[in-house]
Chain A
């Protein structure tokens, strides 16, 4: 396979990363998508838009988020390593952002764009509720109508976030079709969009969907990697040796990875949700256990049967419970620039508890998947190896679910 000079130039003009990406949507939506692409390109070139974005990130979101040396976790894993082994682990603290995750970076960018386009009604889909909360928050902040589609299963397992969205004035629509999770919420959001094209802006929560969403959301999330780069240079005087992040659609991962794609010394690891284990078929690991197909406006790796029917994903984490992945990840996987591995529900739950006890940080179940693989990988690297894990969200929303699994009545 041809390896490009730069891994950072995608997507091409037609919205493709290699064979992935594209614009596979109904004709009704095409004029809107073309308008959105134009509006985004104009906004990118407008210093006023950048200034508004920077101010919002600093004063409302609370950026930059810290890059924190996780000393106790590092020591804990070194104790299990051979002499001289055990990477130095840093957390990129996206969980400290307003609304509790990285999602707000992207939503801020899209809401400011929606305002420029004169759209008054915002729709979004959400799995764990973090994207829904971020969207509801910024709609409240800017006085926009907000409708969030959420699978009925997720509505029940993410009750705190559902309540939060309602407090913020959003309408939460429980989706009863299909597997009643994120994939079905996205279908319903697309149906709403087709129906209300004139008034509505669809704020997609991850680096997936039709072009220009994958590249646009990545650009908004790249603030994570850009800050990491500066902060690591300041802390250690050099670039990190490896990056690791969890992947559902993959926006937190893409945001961390992208600014480092052209640094060959930096190893990149994405962690998918292996659910009950890849061999059981009950998982959400589309790269590990799927193949390329077309869904939700893009070509990417998907979980499906031999007839091209989309399979239901499974993960303990509602945010990772999606049968697809952003197309840029599919491309990075195929060309080998990033390595994709997976962590089971059980491993994520163990990492969730370990990091809470060792670092006084309760991670969301999503980044707990990345932390689970940190526990496997860090002991294989030398002690001077600098590893950054994206702590993409905090675990408050998961407390009721984890308590239930651990048999504790709240």
Chain B
């Protein structure tokens, strides 16, 4: 089965470039602004959208994404509204893949079967659930694959060659390589080290490999893109968004342009690099 993610990564590859994967938190700082931003991302240059599902206890996230989640929750964001946001996005965009990224508990409480059905109907393409390693595949990964949703697994610097096959076994869409041992938005990964890691993963899989965690500037994104099929930028976009909020954390007219401007610069940098894929 060919999915939106397959199509998009294949299309980027045929153009000889890496994909820009942008992360924003659903409902940050409020539903309407967040939906407008979501709709503006593809135009600004995002190839794939990761939509963060807010959670009170995001244990793998740094301060920027933690705060974004809390702003969204305070503004009333729920998993149901996040799915509604994807449906609304699909009314005008059928091509850009959307991957939900979050933690398991909100999905577990929503009910796995109901969630997968509603997510598929809404137009979600894939799931990244940080706290579901392969050891817990029965929970969501296998049912998601059956329901036709890609389950995107994280591989990390601690995932050695022995463990890698287990991590890749039920992965679909792409592999998300976490470039550092740490939380989102923390240390800056070194492009040459990342390129070697990507090459190592690609020896085990034909799936595209996107790299995230700690990628902050267009220059940095371009350097990472030289050795990967995709680059994920999250905390830097959230920081740009936060910088435009008023004293009460409300959106201002500067909010959406600030994020799309940065996405534009990132896209130009990432797309400008002829990918020197290591395969």
> Given the complex of chains A and B, what is the CA–CA distance between A306 and B105 in angstroms?
11
> Given the complex of chains A and B, what is the CA–CA distance between A14 and B103 in angstroms?
20
Q: Does A297 contact B (CB under 8 A)?
A: yes
Taking a contact as CB atoms under 8 Å apart, the answer to whether B167 and A296 are in contact is: no
> Given the complex of chains A and B, what is the CA–CA distance between A238 and B55 in angstroms?
50
Q: Does A32 contact B (CB under 8 A)?
A: yes
B167: A residues at CB distance < 8 A: 27
Taking a contact as CB atoms under 8 Å apart, the answer to whether B132 and A28 are in contact is: no
Q: Does A339 contact B (CB under 8 A)?
A: no
Those of A158-202 within 8 Å (CB) of chain B: 177-178, 183-184, 187, 190-191, 194-198
Q: Does B260 contact A (CB under 8 A)?
A: no
Q: Does B248 contact A (CB under 8 A)?
A: no
Taking a contact as CB atoms under 8 Å apart, the answer to whether A26 and B154 are in contact is: yes
Taking a contact as CB atoms under 8 Å apart, the answer to whether B131 and A26 are in contact is: yes
Q: Does B93 contact A (CB under 8 A)?
A: no
Taking a contact as CB atoms under 8 Å apart, the answer to whether B109 and A308 are in contact is: yes
Taking a contact as CB atoms under 8 Å apart, the answer to whether A190 and B136 are in contact is: no
Q: Does A293 contact B (CB under 8 A)?
A: yes
Give the total number of A-B pairs whose CB atoms are below 8 A apart.
118
Closest to A23 in B: B135
Taking a contact as CB atoms under 8 Å apart, the answer to whether A194 and B183 are in contact is: yes
Contact partner of A194 (CB less than 8 A), chosen from B56, B103, B163, B182, is: B182
Judged by DSSP, the binding face of B is loop
A27: B residues at CB distance < 8 A: 133, 153-156, 158-159, 167, 178
Those of A300-325 within 8 Å (CB) of chain B: 302, 304, 306-310
A180 to chain B, nearest CB (A): 13
Q: Does A153 contact B (CB under 8 A)?
A: no
Taking a contact as CB atoms under 8 Å apart, the answer to whether B60 and A26 are in contact is: yes
> Are A309 and B158 CB-contacts (below 8 A) given A27-B178, A194-B182, A294-B105?
no
Q: Does B255 contact A (CB under 8 A)?
A: no
Mark B103-123 against chain A: 1 for CB-CB distance below 8 A, else 0: 111111110000000000000
Taking a contact as CB atoms under 8 Å apart, the answer to whether B136 and A23 are in contact is: yes
> Given the complex of chains A and B, what is the CA–CA distance between A178 and B69 in angstroms?
11
Taking a contact as CB atoms under 8 Å apart, the answer to whether A197 and B132 are in contact is: no
Taking a contact as CB atoms under 8 Å apart, the answer to whether A26 and B130 are in contact is: yes
Taking a contact as CB atoms under 8 Å apart, the answer to whether A307 and B109 are in contact is: yes
A353 to chain B, nearest CB (A): 36
A49 to chain B, nearest CB (A): 26
> Given the complex of chains A and B, what is the CA–CA distance between A216 and B189 in angstroms?
35
Mark B130-162 against chain A: 1 for CB-CB distance below 8 A, else 0: 111111100000000000000001111111100
Taking a contact as CB atoms under 8 Å apart, the answer to whether A294 and B158 are in contact is: no
Mark B172-203 against chain A: 1 for CB-CB distance below 8 A, else 0: 00000010011100110000000000000000
Q: Which of B57, B110, B153 counts the most A-chain CB atoms under 10 A from its CB?
A: B57
Taking a contact as CB atoms under 8 Å apart, the answer to whether A295 and B57 are in contact is: yes
B128 to chain A, nearest CB (A): 11
Residue ranges of B at the interface with A (Cβ–Cβ < 8 Å): 54-60, 62-63, 66, 73, 78-80, 103-110, 130-136, 153-160, 163, 167, 178, 181-183, 186-187
Residue ranges of A at the interface with B (Cβ–Cβ < 8 Å): 14, 22-32, 177-178, 183-184, 187, 190-191, 194-198, 293-297, 299, 302, 304, 306-310
**Closest CB pairs A-B (n = 6):** A308-B109, A308-B106, A195-B182, A28-B156, A190-B59, A24-B131
- In the assembled complex, 25 residue pairs joining A and B whose CB atoms fall closer than 8 Å, in A order, are A24-B136, A25-B131, A25-B133, A26-B60, A26-B133, A27-B133, A28-B181, A30-B158, A31-B158, A187-B59, A191-B59, A191-B60, A191-B183, A195-B181, A197-B158, A293-B109, A294-B103, A295-B57, A307-B109, A307-B110, A308-B107, A309-B73, A309-B106, A310-B56, A310-B105
